[in-house]
Structure 1
Amino acid sequence: MNTKLTHDVAIIGGGAAGLAAAVTLARSLRSVVVLDAGDPRNAPAAGAHNVLGREGIAPLDLLAAGRREAQQYGAEIRNDPAAAVRRIDDGFVVELASGATVSARRLLLATGLADELPDVPGVREFWGRSVLHCPYCHGWEARGQRIGVLGTSPLSVHQTLLFRQLSDDVTLFLHEMPEPDSEAWEQLAALDVQMVDGRVERLHGEGDALQAVVLEDGTEFPVDAVTVAPRFMARAELYEQLGGTLSEHPLGQFIETGQMGRTDIAGVWAAGNVSDLGAMVSVATGAGTSAGAAINADLVTEDAQAAVLSRAGAL
């Protein structure tokens, strides 16, 4: 094992994927450091859902529990985000926002994604509470309510159908989306979805309570929740610094990986939303566990090969 490096693995990102990988690696007696920027994407949400055994837990409480679990096995967690990364002969050096550096034999990117929201006043203010995007993350909480869909792309029709499963009162605001095709019109009409032409000027509400969608002509439509389709952009600046290229998806950009999170860059893995734009918390957790196991196996192989060479040199 190379002793010049400070850690076996540096994990950039302290969300579900990063912490799950830290637990897996630390339980295999790997030296692990997690570098956390402290801005989880789901922080505005009241609860994390579809998390077996922890259904509805507050996102920050889930991460706090994950941190404790990783630390109890010896993982180091730093509240110091990574600012830059470079390759060295035997691994990587990560420069932190504080000016400190850490080095590691392998790198796991679990940096998540950023939501590029529609430029409509009120969307960001109510985001994660009454402005939603995922029916599996927030749908139950919006069931039976007056739900508006802010049309921004052809995918808005699919989003409308998903939320129509949860409420009989769904309105599709065509806004900036292209004209639906005849099949989509027929489906929406058959499901009694109201369709409203015209641009949306803003969302109106008080406190955390959304109350209405307001068109440019001043017409107001009462709603309890609005669903939007953000563009999902992987937080992948460090991957690009290492020479990586992002892949395009109808929903945004992501780091493409092979089996168990291995990227095209030697020694670099990715897990969670940075490589799977649609991953919910439980999926990101599983991906982190898989990536951690794969990284450990890769290091085991390298260590065994180094031991063979060392033994041969000693004979």
Structure 2
Amino acid sequence: MPSFSAYDMAIVGASNAGLSAALVLGRARRRVLVLDGGPSRNAPAFHSHSFFTRDGAPPQGLLRIGREQLQPYNVEVVAAEARRVKTTAEGFALTLSKGEVVTAPALLLATGVTDVLPGISGLKELWGRGVYHCPYCHGWETRHSRVAVYGRGEAGYHLAVLLQQWSPTLQLCTDGPAGLTPGQLAHLNSLGVAIREARVKAFDGTAKCLRAIIFSDGSRLPVDAVFMRPAQRQRTDLATQLGCALTSDGVYVQVDETGLTSVPNVYAVGDMTGPLQQVIHAAASGARAAAALNNELILRSCVSAA
């Protein structure tokens, strides 16, 4: 563990949003600490998509390039998890997993979210490798495949309608009563979406290949891909420790257009701020917040000098 000293700001999270912010701040001649708390949310996926000039790149390959491009700048990336945070007269104090304390006048959170997956056998092993969250990330690759949507009610209906753009023939598996309105049922029927209400017992496949959905009645639905929208929660409670306001659903951290939270000098970026979750959006939010933070610090120093 390095010997920590003063930093202009600390970034908690070393995935796409955090590293993007670090690049902008490093190039602004800031001394930056980036705390890497562990694998990124998209680590299980084989490829990242819709990232301009890097479509199809492995997620870990993107992060490797991102770290390499930080080397010319005064940015320090440390493998350490921030466990606690509090405000101080000088800014913020972060307590790390081994008890070290890091201080900085500004804080940028890029800690992401955790997908709360249903307790279905095989789902965890196939998440990101046959069972997916985002059609914009994986829809093109499944356009000629056997595709199913897992979900019920409003969420299941909207995801099935959305997937029609990529997979004209698909089934909606609701794992129990569908919870659809007559209008939604009629619309799905007009689109040719079959609905199966049988309880789902398991997802069958290997760590690299989904083969079928197995239902509690013993029947099987051969599939190559399943799309679903699981519930999510914040990966860490650092934002709530600081008193940052959450969105109305209580899931995401509320930010303005620059990424500033309800707590002064605390910015939040990436997946933790909303359901629009793609690699390129995360990177863009990190860059935008970093520029806003740097500008704020410059203007503050001008006021102090005056």
TM-score > 0.5 by shorter chain: yes
SS of 1:226's equivalent?
strand
**Could you list the per-position Cα deviations for residues 40-90 of structure 1 after superposition, in whole angstroms to 9, with x for gaps in the alignment?**
000011111110011111000101111111232221110111111111101
Give the share of equivalent positions with the same residue, in percent.
37
Aligned to 2:64: 64
Q: Is contact 1:108-1:271 (8 Å) kept?
A: yes
Q: Is contact 1:16-1:284 (8 Å) kept?
A: yes
Q: Is contact 1:8-1:30 (8 Å) kept?
A: yes
The reply on whether 1:210 has 2:210 as its aligned counterpart is yes
1:26 and 1:129, CA in 2 relative to 1: closer, same or farther beyond 3 A?
same
Aligned to 1:83: 83
Measure the CA separation in 2 of the matches of 1:111 and 1:297. Answer: 23
1:297 and 1:207, CA in 2 relative to 1: closer, same or farther beyond 3 A?
closer
Aligned to 2:286: 288
TM-score under structure 2 length normalisation: 0.94
Which structure 2 residues correspond to residues 6-155 of structure 1 after superposition, within 5 A? 6-155=6-155
Letter in 2 for 1:100: E
Letter in 2 for 1:201: K
Aligned to 1:299: 297
Aligned to 1:256: 254
SS of 1:289's equivalent?
helix
SS of 1:72's equivalent?
coil
What CA RMSD, in Å, does the superposition of the two structures yield over aligned residues? Answer: 1.5
Q: Is contact 1:153-1:176 (8 Å) kept?
A: no
Answer with 1 or 2: which has the greater Rg: 1
Q: C-alpha displacement at 1:290, in angstroms?
A: 0.7
Measure the CA separation in 2 of the matches of 1:195 and 1:241. Answer: 43
**Could you list the per-position Cα deviations for residues 228-260 of structure 1 after superposition, in whole angstroms to 9, with x for gaps in the alignment?**
1111222340111112242244xx700000120
Aligned to 1:313: none
Q: C-alpha displacement at 1:31, in angstroms?
A: 1.0
1:218 and 1:262, CA in 2 relative to 1: closer, same or farther beyond 3 A?
same
Measure the CA separation in 1 of the matches of 2:44 and 2:135. Answer: 16
Letter in 2 for 1:227: F
Aligned residues: 302
| Larger CA deviation: 83-92 vs 198-207 | 198-207
SS of 1:84's equivalent?
strand
Q: C-alpha displacement at 1:263, in angstroms?
A: 0.6
SS of 2:298's equivalent?
helix
Measure the CA separation in 1 of the matches of 2:152 and 2:96. Answer: 37
Measure the CA separation in 2 of the matches of 1:286 and 1:211. Answer: 36
| Larger CA deviation: 236-245 vs 12-21 | 236-245
Measure the CA separation in 2 of the matches of 1:197 and 1:126. Answer: 22
